[in-house]
């Protein structure tokens, strides 16, 4: 009998005055018994055997992957398909139905098209401002990547290769404009607002998903702006300096000189020291992305002229 049944029998016999210590028990069917003597030591022997078995050498698989290059791998995968995503985004804007969602062609594709079958998406979670659903999206015959299909339908995935969650482009556009007028409105605040609208509990990984999709969305917009600048002949490195001078540099005729023509303040950026990974004992993840803007000059370009001022001062002496 089982241990629970045996315990019930012992309780019944003890209630009727029987000596339960002298009852003979047999091993239940399918189990193996352990010989126990009055001398003891069986448990210690069994424990030592277990340690010896666990210490036996064998073939152990070592995973060579590390999380330190996870961001860099994602960036490389996004860069591979970025040109295709820009074309898909321009097509999405052309098919805009004036509510942030595109007109989708309902004509079925060719069943023999292998590319359409390769990038088909099924049961993917689609997150919009007021709606959160699971749906299957049909790709076009010329689509090469899953995110190309998502952009065609007005969404953008949170991962480059195998997206399971996608956020609508109009949701990302709304957050971009909100953050522009209120820079303190963080990803976490936007994500919590969406959770309240969708009536789901907030989880920290949701903020990571929103941040990843928004970074790619900004890269797509930056590529579009670069194409516009090339078409308008505004792609020269010094175009901003020649055509967008700040108003404080303008002077009128006979304007008296001021004691201080410029008033400049600079932030030492000391608050970023709190984010140093060495303080918390963690390792920084590799991320080779650089800020791309025609308003600022990258540090490497500026450092090329670091010795000119000193050399000029020495030559004038």
Question: What are the two backbone dihedrals, phi and then psi, of residue 145, each rounded to the nearest 5 degrees?
Answer: -130, 150
pLDDT digits (tens, 9 = 90+) for 231-277: 999 888 888 877 766 666 677 788 888 888 777 776 666 665 555 55
pLDDT digits (tens, 9 = 90+) for 16-58: 767 666 666 565 555 555 555 555 666 677 777 777 766 666 6
Give the pLDDT score at 107.
52
Measured from the Cβ of residue 175, the count of other Cβ atoms closer than 10 Å reads 23
pLDDT digits (tens, 9 = 90+) for 197-213: 999 999 999 999 999 99
* Residue matched to tokens 């556009």: 173
Binning pLDDT at 50, 70 and 90, where does residue 126 land?
Answer: very high
Specify the length of the chain in residues. Answer: 317
| DSSP E strands, the chain | 121-127, 132-137, 155-157, 165-168
* Residue matched to tokens 């992305």: 289
Residue 115 has pLDDT above 60, yes or no: no
Report the candidate in 106, 108, 125 with the shortest Cα–Cα distance to residue 117. Answer: 108
Give the pLDDT score at 214.
96
What is the spatial distance between Cα 289 and Cα 267, in angstroms, rounded to a whole number? Answer: 23
Three-state secondary-structure class, residue 161: coil
Instruction: Return the percentage of the chain with pLDDT > 70, whole number.
Output: 70
Continuous H helices in 95-120 = 114-118
Question: What are the two backbone dihedrals, phi and then psi, of residue 193, each rounded to the nearest 5 degrees?
Answer: -65, -40
pTM flag (> 0.85): no
* Residue matched to tokens 């000189």: 257
The two most distant CA atoms of the chain are separated, in Å, by 120
Which two tokens mark 301?
Answer: 């370009």
* CA distances for 233 relative to 68, 238, 296, angstroms: 41, 12, 19
Residue 222 has pLDDT above 90, yes or no: yes
What is the spatial distance between Cα 126 and Cα 118, in angstroms, rounded to a whole number? Answer: 20
Q: Which residues pair with 125 in a beta bridge?
A: 134, 165
Q: Are 102 and 92 in contact (CB under 8 A)?
A: yes
Query: Kindly report the CA angle at 103 between 99 and 104, in degrees rounded to 5?
Result: 140
């Amino acid at each position: 009998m089982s241990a629970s049944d045996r315990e019930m029998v012992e309780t019944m016999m003890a209630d009727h005055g029987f000596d339960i210590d002298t009852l003979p028990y047999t091993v239940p069917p399918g189990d193996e018994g352990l010989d126990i003597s009055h001398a003891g030591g069986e448990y210690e022997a069994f424990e030592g055997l277990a340690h010896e078995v666990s210490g036996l050498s064998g073939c152990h698989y070592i995973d060579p992957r590390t999380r330190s290059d996870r961001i860099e791998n994602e960036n490389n995968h996004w860069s591979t398909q970025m040109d295709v995503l820009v074309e898909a985004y321009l097509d999405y804007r052309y098919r805009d139905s004036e509510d942030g969602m595109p007109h989708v062609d309902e004509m079925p594709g060719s069943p023999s098209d292998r590319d359409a079958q390769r990038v088909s998406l099924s049961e993917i979670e689609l997150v919009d401002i007021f709606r959160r659903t699971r749906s299957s999206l049909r790709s076009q015959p010329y689509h090469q990547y899953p995110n190309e299909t998502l952009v065609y339908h007005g969404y953008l995935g949170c991962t480059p290769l195998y997206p399971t969650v996608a956020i609508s482009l109009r949701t990302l556009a709304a957050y971009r404009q909100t953050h522009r007028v209120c820079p303190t409105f963080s990803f976490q605040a936007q994500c919590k607002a969406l959770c309240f609208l969708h009536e789901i509990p907030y989880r920290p990984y949701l903020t990571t998903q929103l941040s990843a999709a928004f970074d790619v969305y900004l890269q797509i917009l930056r590529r579009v702006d670069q194409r516009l600048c090339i078409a308008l002949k505004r792609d020269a490195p010094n175009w901003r300096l020649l055509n967008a001078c700040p108003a404080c540099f303008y002077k009128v005729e006979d304007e008296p000189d001021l004691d201080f023509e410029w008033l400049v303040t600079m932030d030492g950026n000391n608050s970023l020291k709190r984010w140093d990974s060495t303080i918390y004992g963690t390792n920084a993840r590799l991320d080779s992305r650089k800020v791309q803007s025609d308003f600022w000059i990258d540090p490497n370009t500026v450092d090329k002229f670091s010795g000119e001022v000193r050399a000029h001062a020495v030559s004038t002496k």
